């Protein structure tokens, strides 16, 4: 399982990369491996607002259809149309294939996310 030190991770296996007052969000290597070949990705429109824990999209694979849960509250500033057009990108490079860019509403929510070491420990005990 590949992880990146600079990211935060949720218990739902989304990753968060902070850049100033914005956050890129995608799914982790653990999640994309568990899902298998991803066939379909649905992500929200720009300017939609979400609260932490809301479903913001769907990923469908050969194994399952899974909801995506937003790990940090905020407004969608961008969505990655490339992964909608070519969902296999999520399997090939999950940490480059971000799904949404969010304007962070509450930085304190980051405290509820895991760092790389905590996430590795969590995944060693977790099954999706």
Which of 50, 99, 46, 44 lies closest to 73, judged by CA? Answer: 50
Q: pTM for this one?
A: 0.94
All structural domains of the chain, each given as residue ranges with its CATH number in brackets, are: 8-123 (2.40.50.100)
Rounded to an integer, what distance in angstroms lies between the CA atom of residue 36 and that of residue 5? 24
**85-116: pLDDT as tens digits:** 999 999 999 999 999 999 999 999 999 999 99
Q: What is the bridge-based pairing of β-strands 8-9 and 38-42? A: unpaired
**49-90: pLDDT as tens digits:** 999 999 999 999 999 999 999 999 999 999 999 999 999 999
């Amino acid at each position: 399982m590949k992880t990146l030190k600079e990211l935060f991770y949720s218990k739902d296996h989304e990753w968060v990369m902070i850049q100033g007052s914005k956050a890129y969000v995608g799914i982790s290597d653990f999640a994309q491996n568990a899902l298998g070949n991803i066939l379909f990705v649905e992500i929200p429109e720009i300017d939609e607002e979400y609260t932490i824990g809301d479903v913001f999209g769907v990923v469908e694979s050969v194994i399952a259809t899974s909801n995506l849960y937003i790990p940090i509250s905020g407004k969608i500033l961008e969505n990655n149309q490339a992964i909608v057009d070519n969902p296999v990108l999520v399997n090939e490079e999950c940490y480059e294939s971000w799904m949404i860019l969010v304007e962070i509403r509450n930085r304190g929510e980051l405290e509820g996310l895991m760092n790389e070491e905590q996430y590795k420990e969590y995944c060693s005990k977790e099954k999706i």
